[in-house]
Amino acid sequence: MTVHSTDRPLAPAGLLTTPRRAVVFDLDGVIVDSFAVMREAFAVAYAEVVGDGPAPFEEYVRHQGRYFPDIMRIMGLPLEMEEPFVRESYRLAHRVEVFDGVLELLLTLRVRGLRLAVATGKAGDRARSLLDGLGLLPFFAHVIGSDEVARPKPAPDIVRRALELLDVPPEQALMVGDAPTDLASARDAGVASAAALWVGPDEEELLAAGPDAVLRRPGDLLALCPAVPGD
């Protein structure tokens, strides 16, 4: 799939003019490129718990954004895979990379006065540990994991919790995600959504989920997030 960069995000005119005070980010596939680590951790967990044969990682990736135990239930795989998967994810965390342009994006958003949060399919402790190791944790006022809400994505609970902690109403926030589950969670929380395409996801499936904006590169988000007026 070829993705062409644009100078501005694809978004309705109303979204470009609506003031935003906060941005809620998904983590994997938006802020960090963790898919190689994820693939290796999944393969080890599958071999330890299930046994021989190829690990169905491509199917696993199609459920990204969901909590790991929920994905195991959907795929009919043993929940016992979670322990070795998490263990290997911690062991390999030093190989996770930040996407090009993300650091500059976060710096600019903070300078512009926006409040930032992460709402991820990962467990909260693991997400905070990963961001801390990458030096990104200070950018985020809050990092919420799927184990810290009653219902993980695609339910709206995790986005609503982020807004509650940020003390921002839904109409003044934006959710950035790379999976249909992210967009569904945002929509049902009353928050505008932006589809992140820089990791090369299934673009057709993501666009079919109805994002309010399409971002080809991290910097595209800046057109949707001008400086917050002073109080």
Name the one residue in this structure whose structure tokens are 């200070």: 138
Number of helical (H) and strand (E) elements in the chain, helices listed first: 10, 8
Buried b (16+ CB within 10 A) or exposed e, 185-197: bbbebebbbbbbb
Give residues with Cβ within 8 angstroms of 153, minimum separation 6: 65, 66, 67, 119, 121, 146, 181, 182, 184, 185
What long-range pairs does 3-6 form, CB within 8 A, spacing at least 24?
3/197, 3/198, 3/200, 3/203, 3/216, 4/216, 5/216, 5/217, 6/216, 6/220
The DSSP line for 146-157 is: GGGSSS-TTSSH
Give residues with Cβ within 8 angstroms of 75, minimum separation 6: 56, 59, 60, 63
Give residues with Cβ within 8 angstroms of 74, minimum separation 6: 63, 66
* Marked catalytic residue, from 7, 26, 132, 182: 26
Catalytic annotation present for 26: yes
Q: Look up residue 148 and give its two tokens.
A: 């810290």
- Name the amino acid, one letter, at 134: L
- Name the amino acid, one letter, at 57: F
Q: Are 176 and 221 in contact (CB under 8 A)?
A: yes
Catalytic residue set: 26
